Amino acid sequence: MDIISQAPLILITGGSRGIGAATARLAAAQGYDVAISFVSNQAAAHAIAADVRRAGRRSLAVRADSADPDQVAQLFAAIDREFGRIDVLVNNAAVLAQQSRLEDLAFERMQRIFAVNAIGPILCAQQAVKRMSYRHNGRGGSVVNISSASARLGSPGEYVDYAASKGALETFTTGFAKEVAREGIRVNCIRPGHIYTEMHASGGEPGRVDRVKDSIPMGRGGHAEEVARAILWLAGADASFVTGTSLDVTGGK
């Protein structure tokens, strides 16, 4: 088998934009083959896949809603066919809705946010553990869940449902990490703070980071590439004795 086919494989859900896209590009630069999932923007996903190939790595972009168990199963089946392995899962896919107080939140919105942000990572982790765990004759691996500083701060008056869904993801990180710690799998969590990404437009305020940056001890917003570096540190061998941990990438907030 040639060197390229021996490269570790990283799957990044929601990899077509923002933190996911930055992580895909940096992972390729660090020697990973890269698979990404996306829901709607096929052109953006294919552009990221092309960037990975230009870096000399193999890539795969698959349309898959991480809240749908059938689509998640199909995503992992596609990875099996293309790469025959998975070494790192980055549960990055998430949704955010318009800023709102609690009493105005629609039930359907709550359902969708929890389905994507909390249940989706669990569904993906289920598939990953069946391929990574020593119990299933896997070679081990790493899972990095992307939470949010809002899980600590609560996002009052803006995104309490989003914050609550990320809190659920952090509790899942803790339990899952302990469950598979002796099976060769490390499970950790990143809490990004106010990062310049397209996601803020989904909440109705594209300029939100600039509005709040004076409240950040470092006095600025963060960049997707800064989060990507933290993700890939936790994913890799330099973090070999780190599991069940949440790492803040928040500029001190």
pLDDT in tens, 124-177: 999 999 999 999 999 999 999 999 999 999 999 999 999 999 999 999 999 999
- Name the pLDDT band for 52 (thresholds 50, 70, 90): very high
The three-state secondary structure class of 40 is coil
Asked if 48 contacts 24 with a C-beta cutoff of 8 angstroms, the reply is: yes
Domain of residue 214, residue span: 3-249
Q: In the 8-state DSSP scheme, what is residue 223?
A: E
> 93-120: per-residue pLDDT in tens?
999 999 999 999 999 999 999 999 999 9
Long-range (24+ apart) CB contacts under 8 A made by 205-214 are: 205/99
User: Over 50: is that where the pLDDT of 228 sits?
Assistant: yes
Q: In this model, does residue 204 exceed pLDDT 80?
A: no
Q: pTM of this prediction? A: 0.94
pLDDT at 199: 63
The pLDDT value recorded for residue 3 is 43
Task: Write the single-letter amino acid at 46.
Answer: H
Average pLDDT (19-36) is 98
**Pairwise CA distance, residues 46 & 211, whole Å:** 32
Residue 92 has pLDDT above 70, yes or no: yes
| Known active-site residue 196 | no
Catalytic pick from 32, 159, 162, 196?
Answer: 162
- Return the pLDDT at 209: 83
pLDDT at 35: 98
Q: What was the pLDDT predicted at 2?
A: 43
Report the domain count for the chain: 1
For residue 234, give the CATH number of its domain. 3.40.50.720
pLDDT at 198 over 80: no
Contacts of 194 (CB under 8 A, 6+ apart): 149, 208, 209, 212, 213, 216, 221, 222, 250, 251, 253
Averaged pLDDT, 1-11: 72
Mean per-residue pLDDT, 225-236 = 98
pLDDT (0 to 100) of residue 202: 60
